[in-house]
Structure 1
């Protein structure tokens, strides 16, 4: 492995708009009653969403901007009575590179705004990419 870090660039394709405003008030996982949210696409990337439809399942890659990048171990679900676990075995936003993976259902699609259900990310979270789930439709 090289001792010099590789340089690369990532651009956000959109931002989360959500009533969740801080980590403390956010659910730990989407199945814990995450409120409806929206993804506001950067206008330069709106054409990339042309084939998305309500009811589709997609994975959102996010940059968890409120996560701490110097944390390597956490107590699962913030419970200090549980032993600390390495962050690569958890869903914590605290990690060396705080990239989040969120499987959500599209509830609405317009040229620049995607309605989503099941997103536990807080307001202002950058969206790095959107990937369809194979099989593509809501199954819950």
Structure 2
């Protein structure tokens, strides 16, 4: 069975590198960004409306896939912790999870969202609506 992880689109953001990216979406520096989906996925946006809360799953294409321990938030003054207890992008399979608000949809398949801390050109691998009652 051939199972592949494929990008359905890419993020277009003013954040250009890891050093300037906030660590989480609600920190200072998270921005309004565009998610440009492959037009083949346009039907998947049916019934999405501005104001919806979404979870974006991304592939951290610039991550180091070898660490099993990291300094939390990159702060070298803090002791190292196991990577699975942190939100570090450096991990064996670097999948990002981002909570955003849908601002608008532009034809054929572009979402405007905020706040987003992902770097420009980050691949998007899935979009899910947040469950009601989620914080």
| Distance in 2, Cα, partners of 1:7 & 1:47 | 24
Give the corresponding residue for 1:93: 89
1:84 has 2:80 as partner: yes
Q: Which runs of 5 or more residues in structure 2 are unaligned?
A: none
Tell me if 1:43 matches 2:43.
no
Secondary structure of the residue aligned to 1:27 is coil
Which runs of structure 1 show a deviation greater than 3 angstroms over 4 or more consecutive aligned residues?
A: none
Q: How many aligned residue pairs are there?
A: 133
| TM-score, with length taken from structure 2 | 0.92
Q: Which residue of 1 aligns with 2:105?
A: 109
Query: Match of 1:125?
Result: 122
* 2:57 aligned counterpart, secondary structure: strand
Q: Name the Cα RMSD after superposition.
A: 1.8
Which structure 1 segments of 5+ residues have no match?
1-5
1:51 shift after superposition: 1.5
